[in-house]
Amino acid sequence: MPQSSLRRADRVSAILERVASHGSVDAGHLADEFEVSPATIRRDLQVLEDQRLLSRTHGGAVAVDVAYELPVRYRVGQHREEKALVAQRVAALLPKGPLTLGLTGGTTTHLLARLLAERVDLTVVTNALNIAAELALRPRLKLIMTGGVSRTQSYELVGPIADQALAGLNMAVAVVGVDGISARGGLTTHDEIEANTNATMIRRADRVIVVADGSKVGRVCLASICAITGVATLVTDSSADPAGVEAIRRTGTEVIVA
């Protein structure tokens, strides 16, 4: 895709990736790269500074000192092809016929929900607002939505209300999105309250499938969701670190590379 045709969300996502990789960015270089005006880049940087995702400087921006979670609206453009491959592979893995399926929040689980929207005999349990919005008007499937407190970074409903709703349900399969997965750290994410809600869904499922593009394999984030032994299958893509994949396989978890 030509840089000039990038949507704003994709452009901002690319800016954040450069800040994360290099520690700083130059506004003039960004304007040239994306073929937009310097004023447009300044507005992008201001928006990101307002969200405390970077700190503006005279000629550009620098990374903030603390680790941050990229809001889901900016994650959609990251690793898009890999996430689509993973979602397609999981859709093919799911059993046919009546199925009760749990879906946590995440860009890959959202893509999976779109692929499943025309299925019949499907009951979807989710705490993700964007997934619920995707499925709410589909007449041939049943949607069960938890309550809870909304997290703007992930569009997930989390906390005791969500946990209580999930604790009363049984799911044949839960498909879980994570920010990190490794043999040592298990499943991890940025927020401890979200981690607890996702762990509750995992405990209520007979089988757990984790979806993670290759950038998340081997990563360990702040909050633990569960040990790797709680996962039946990891579906990732070919960009995943081979050593990280092999370490997960040695734990007994099935790893499928889409």
Which tens digit of pLDDT belongs to each residue from 80-117? 788 999 999 999 999 999 999 999 999 999 999 999 99
Mark whether 177 and 105 lie in a shared domain.
yes
Average pLDDT over residues 3-8: 59
The enclosing domain of 125 has a CATH number of 3.40.50.1360
What pLDDT score does 16 carry? Answer: 81
Mark whether 245 and 174 lie in a shared domain.
yes
DSSP string, 150-177: EETTTTEEESHHHHHHHHT--EEEEEEE
The number of distinct structural domains making up the chain is: 2
Mark whether 45 and 84 lie in a shared domain.
no
Mark whether 147 and 25 lie in a shared domain.
no
The enclosing domain of 62 has a CATH number of 1.10.10.10
Mark whether 224 and 115 lie in a shared domain.
yes
At a CB cut-off of 8 Å and minimum separation 6, what does 171 contact? 100, 101, 102, 125, 201, 204, 205, 206
Residue 45 gets the label, from left (phi > 0), alpha (psi -120 to 50) or beta, of alpha
Using CA atoms, how far residue 147 sits from 86, 88, 108, 221, in Å, is 28, 28, 22, 25
Mark whether 89 and 203 lie in a shared domain.
yes
Name the domain boundary from 41, 66, 91.
66
Domain range for 34: 8-66
Mark whether 208 and 132 lie in a shared domain.
yes
In a domain, 118, yes or no: yes
In a domain, 2, yes or no: no
Mark whether 27 and 111 lie in a shared domain.
no
Mark whether 36 and 98 lie in a shared domain.
no
Which tens digit of pLDDT belongs to each residue from 14-42? 888 788 767 889 999 999 998 999 999 99
Name the domain boundary from 48, 66, 84.
66
Confidence of residue 69 (pLDDT cuts 50, 70, 90): low
Which tens digit of pLDDT belongs to each residue from 194-230? 999 999 999 999 999 999 999 999 999 999 999 999 9
Name the domain boundary from 66, 83, 115.
66
In a domain, 30, yes or no: yes
